[in-house]
Amino acid sequence: MAHPSQLGFQDAASPLMEELLHFHDHAVMIIFLISTFVLYIIVVMISTTLTNKYVLDSQEIEIIWTVLPAVILILIALPSLRILYLMDEINDPHLTIKAVGHQWYWSYEYTDYEDLGFDSYMIPTQDLTPGQFRLLEADHRMVVPVESPIRVLITADDVLHSWAVPALGVKMDAVPGRLNQTAFITSRPGVFYGQCSEICGANHSFMPIVVEAVPLEHFENWSSLMLEDA
């Protein structure tokens, strides 16, 4: 998860987030090279009084500064389009979970696995135990099996919300009357935190998302205990 004074992204916990991080590094490297070249040109123009008559009117230079930006844009666009299509791919999910946004909590339904559903509220600051994170902990986590394709159907009951977990590379709007879907695969066990990313009212900051990825055996034990408690 994020930590104070962090400059980069959170560590990737899904293959899709790894792709997004690689594309970010690719784009930043191109921006760095362009910025360095422009700075060099500015310094040269300021620091020298020499003039080359072939630079003032040159067809070759005009061709270069027209073609080169087009090539750079293609080098950025092609990887970007590839990732956009990867984000829309939902092939044979092992589990489908419905996430419903309310003011100001989330509810989850595991209806295609078991008749299991529960609400997830933020744990108040005064009830936190040592080691828990303020404004990020929920009383019921969304538990998923690790290394399994998970589809999440997302909607809202009242106003616009947004279900977002940065470490998984997932962000999808929750719109009343509309069912959006997204998918992810957790590449390692762990607890991954997110928050509602659409301003939804007075307590917008107090509806965290907690996804816990566990081995399949532990997931089955958890679901059995949840059904017994229900």
Domain co-membership, 104 together with 78: no
**Least confident residue range of 117-121, 171-175, 224-228:** 224-228
pLDDT for res 207: 94
What is the C-alpha separation between 89 and 153, in angstroms, rounded? 14
Domain co-membership, 116 together with 43: no
Average pLDDT over residues 22-48: 93
In sequence order, what are the beta bridge partners of 102?
105
Average pLDDT over residues 17-21: 95
Domain co-membership, 187 together with 79: no
pLDDT for res 50: 74
pTM here?
A: 0.85
pLDDT for res 111: 83
Domain's final residue, options 70, 88, 106: 88
Asked whether residue 3 is domain-assigned, the answer is: no
Domain co-membership, 133 together with 222: yes
The angle that helices 59-88 and 15-47 make with each other, rounded to 10 degrees, is: 160
Residue 186 near residue 214, CB atoms below 8 Å: no
**pLDDT category, 56, cuts 50, 70, 90?**
low
Domain co-membership, 190 together with 225: yes
Total domains in the chain come to 2
pLDDT > 70 fraction of the chain, expressed in percent and rounded: 98
**Average pLDDT, rounded, for the chain:** 91
Distances (CA, A) of 215 to 62, 146, 184, 218: 59, 5, 16, 5
Per-residue exposure over 29-49, b if at least 16 CB sit within 10 Å of its own CB, e if not: eeeeeeeeeeeeeeeeeeeee
| Cβ-proximal residues to 120 (8 Å cutoff; 6+ apart), any chain | 105, 106, 107, 108, 138, 139, 140, 141, 142, 209, 210
In sequence order, what are the beta bridge partners of 180?
154
Asked whether residue 9 is domain-assigned, the answer is: no
Asked whether residue 195 is domain-assigned, the answer is: yes
Domain's final residue, options 71, 88, 105: 88
Q: What is the residue range of 195's domain?
A: 95-229
Domain's final residue, options 49, 71, 88: 88
pLDDT of 94-136, one tens digit each? 999 999 999 999 999 998 877 899 999 999 999 999 989 999 9
